[in-house]
Structure 1
Amino acid sequence: MSKINVDSLAVPAFSVAITDDGVLRYDGINDILCQISGLTKEMFIGKTAAEFMSFEGAQAWETNYRRCLASGVMDEYEELAETPSGLRWWRTILSPVVDETGKIIQLLGLAADINDRKRAEIELQAAVFIDIVTGIANRRRFDLDLAAAMAQSMDSGVPFTLILADLDRFKSINDTFGHAVGDEVLRQTAVRLRSGVRERDRIARVGGDEFAAILSSATDGAVAVALDRISRQFMRPIEFGETSVPVGVSLGAALWKPSMTADDLRAAADAAMYDTKRDRAA
């Protein structure tokens, strides 16, 4: 089979020639793909990927091409790639073109711009892990973050801390002020909790009026400082229009130990939180 001229194809297409010394150089791009990508024939044809792309982008493209060459069969993949038209998602079908001896002499690429669909898909996947009221992570995301924190600590030997935070008298807030104010209290609780921890710490709403934070703090002293910092965030009432809502929060912390399961850690933090509630009620 002779080399394919992509200009004759009615879909976005490009081609890569394989030189005798194994260098991969583009030898074709049709007008349809030029229009979509912003690439021109002048900047593309006769060049290697490294000659007109960033190092990371060129490395990713060449890796895909080399994989297709090594397998000798059609390959299909999705990738986030930077072109003159911007950073966009593409689906590429890559096929080897062989000569009469069976030698691969060219790669034919058929490309489709899937940016809108892919970004919508990513947003939908992300929404699965977001609490709709507060905009922070939900229980599903928290469970994954907790598992990741445990795995990291087992590898590093450095413990972490789980803090549970429970709003005091939240039902009475809903009953007295209504659910709109109740939702605002939840949102402001998330904001204040975020302000009370460090940027690398993770927070989540794990129940109706229950929140959690995973802290990298690994000593009793550091945990005490974190608890005090969070408590101070709730010393002033939450303002909602002309409504002022005093909000208290009960906190419980547990330092992870290698023998603990996730349930063990949650139970320890939960017990500490209810000790706090009991002490405050006494």
Structure 2
Amino acid sequence: MSGPHCSNLDLDTLRAKFYQLHIAVEQSPAATAITDTEGRIEYVNQRFLEVTGYSREELIGKTPAMIQSGTTPEAVYRDLWQTLRSGQVWRGELQNRKKNGEFYWEAEIITPVRDDTGEVVRFVAVKEDITERKRQEEELRLLASVFQTGQAPLITDSEMRIERVNQAFTDITGYLPEEVIGHTPRLFKSGRHDQAFYTQLWRDVLETGHWQGEIWNRNKYGEIYPLWQSITAVSDETGKVRHYIGVFHNIAERKRLEEELEQQATRDHLTGAHNRRAFDTTMRKAIRQAERSDNTFSLLLFDIDLFKSINDQHGHDTGDSILKRLATLVSQALRSTDMLARWGGEEFAILLQDTTIQGASIFAERLRQQVAETRLHGLNVTISLGIAEYRRGDGPEAMLARADNALYRAKRAGRNRVGIAGAHA
């Protein structure tokens, strides 16, 4: 009696343990599947159903091919089956497809199950959904690739202490990472911007989360250079700023090209003096300023005496050299606020800011004398000058006409002279 009784007790215990095991597997957070040796599904747990979107009826008797995405290389599956058929455990990552067509990633461990004789009779697959992890890894890879571009990113904490830079940062600034990490970007201030500039910059960052624009910095060697920079505030889920990310690149070459184009647009190609277009713009601006204030200015027109004879006797190359030398000589006598332009041929114009007719006369006489005493390209050259001071109501044409008349009178009086436009000339 005792034997069968014990046998029934053992069987009940076994059933209870099996039921407990079934419940544990069924409620496991890891998707679990059991297949036969051909890969046909015999069992899946609840988590497997939740992940794939299929029902048990749709999966039982099928192979995992129905959830394959088609993106996993065939070599991965060949390795999987070779490993399992050799009786080894396979570990790997697969991209699969849910019933609704959505791709997802799984980390899988597939284990061969042996019978009492040691023969493999089933496989047990335990899967972990790693879609989010793969997304984060891809995001980090993208960020890493961005971080290693020619752009120079700069990451700081909320107190603006630098945490990370890249090689492009070192190439542009000259600073190695260990020389700047822990410091603030104040290290790079050039002195070219006033406090109002930085106040507005940070107001934009704090109010909108972003700023971008041109900024001048100083590199490790003391050189000041222009950058195009963007600054972004990175906040946490509570809205508190945790980091600032700055991305910049050197625009010195672009600025050089812009200046070169500006030079070409506003400068005379032979002498380097301003051209008529640039002079006209500056003169109109000077008139507007004079109209709004008590300031005045004077206009000088001058040309080289008997320049045609110089060209005829010595050739146009000599004439061109004299024009260039003369422009250089006059430029050296001007203040930074004054302006010299080649008006055409051998004729030039000078705008003397904040200068009365008396001051302009003194300047013109001194310039006339200096040119007469200087040999230009080995030749003695003289100039004649005409001066007009701005008077209220003058337009550019009226001033130019008065200065031109004064120049004409200087020529008629024997050249190498200064002509002054009178109050009613």
Q: Give the alignment's TM-score, normalised by structure 1.
A: 0.80
Partner of 1:17: 157
CA deviation profile, 1:60-112 (whole Å, cap 9, x unmatched): 56753442232234x43232211215322222233332322344432222222
CA distance 1:265–1:93, change in 2 (3 Å): same
CA distance 1:219–1:116, change in 2 (3 Å): closer
> How far apart, in 2, do the equivalents of 1:217 and 1:117 lie?
35
> How far apart, in 1, do the equivalents of 2:409 and 2:202 lie?
61
> How far apart, in 2, do the equivalents of 1:51 and 1:191 lie?
40
Alignment partner of 1:231 is 2:368: yes
Partner of 1:143: 280
What SS does the corresponding residue of 2:385 show, helix, strand or coil?
strand
**More RCO (CA 8 Å, sep 6+):** 1
Partner of 1:253: 387
The residue identity in structure 1 corresponding to 2:367 is I
Note if contact 1:69-1:104 (Cα within 8 Å) is conserved in structure 2: no
Alignment partner of 1:93 is 2:230: yes
Q: Shift in Å at residue 237 of structure 1?
A: 6.7
Note if contact 1:17-1:106 (Cα within 8 Å) is conserved in structure 2: yes
Q: Shift in Å at residue 58 of structure 1?
A: 9.2
Q: Shift in Å at residue 195 of structure 1?
A: 5.3
Q: Alignment partner for residue 164 of structure 2, among 24, 28, 42?
A: 28
CA distance 1:117–1:193, change in 2 (3 Å): closer
1:40-55 matches, cutoff 5 A? 40-50=176-186, 53=189
> How far apart, in 1, do the equivalents of 2:241 and 2:400 lie?
58
Note if contact 2:188-2:219 (Cα within 8 Å) is conserved in structure 1: no
The residue identity in structure 2 corresponding to 1:229 is R
Aligned length: 271
Partner of 1:79: 215
> How far apart, in 2, do the equivalents of 1:219 and 1:58 lie?
34
Q: Alignment partner for residue 174 of structure 1, among 271, 289, 311?
A: 311
Q: Which piece of structure 1 moves more, 119-128 or 157-166? A: 119-128
CA distance 1:52–1:218, change in 2 (3 Å): closer
Q: Alignment partner for residue 396 of structure 2, among 252, 258, 262?
A: 262
Query: Structure 1 unaligned runs (5+)?
Result: none
> How far apart, in 1, do the equivalents of 2:199 and 2:179 lie?
17
Partner of 1:37: 173
CA distance 1:165–1:13, change in 2 (3 Å): same
Q: Shift in Å at residue 53 of structure 1?
A: 4.0
Q: Shift in Å at residue 222 of structure 1?
A: 2.2
Query: Structure 2 unaligned runs (5+)?
Result: 1-138, 416-425
Q: Which piece of structure 1 moves more, 173-182 or 131-140? A: 131-140
Partner of 1:164: 301
Q: Shift in Å at residue 256 of structure 1?
A: 0.4
CA distance 1:275–1:32, change in 2 (3 Å): closer
Partner of 2:406: 272
Q: Shift in Å at residue 158 of structure 1?
A: 1.9
Q: Shift in Å at residue 181 of structure 1?
A: 0.8
Note if contact 1:77-1:92 (Cα within 8 Å) is conserved in structure 2: yes
Note if contact 1:206-1:212 (Cα within 8 Å) is conserved in structure 2: yes
CA distance 1:28–1:128, change in 2 (3 Å): same
CA RMSD of superposed structures (Å): 3.2
CA deviation profile, 1:194-218 (whole Å, cap 9, x unmatched): 3555564322212111101112463
The residue identity in structure 2 corresponding to 1:28 is R
Q: Give the alignment's TM-score, normalised by structure 2.
A: 0.56
What SS does the corresponding residue of 2:311 show, helix, strand or coil?
helix
Q: Shift in Å at residue 182 of structure 1?
A: 0.8
> How far apart, in 1, do the equivalents of 2:333 and 2:180 lie?
52
> How far apart, in 2, do the equivalents of 1:200 and 1:56 lie?
20
What SS does the corresponding residue of 2:161 show, helix, strand or coil?
strand
The residue identity in structure 1 corresponding to 2:154 is F
The residue identity in structure 2 corresponding to 1:202 is M
CA deviation profile, 1:141-190 (whole Å, cap 9, x unmatched): 22233233324433441211101002222223222211101101212322
Note if contact 1:197-1:230 (Cα within 8 Å) is conserved in structure 2: no
- Radius of gyration: which is bigger? 2
CA distance 1:62–1:46, change in 2 (3 Å): farther
CA distance 1:37–1:220, change in 2 (3 Å): closer
Q: Shift in Å at residue 259 of structure 1?
A: 1.2
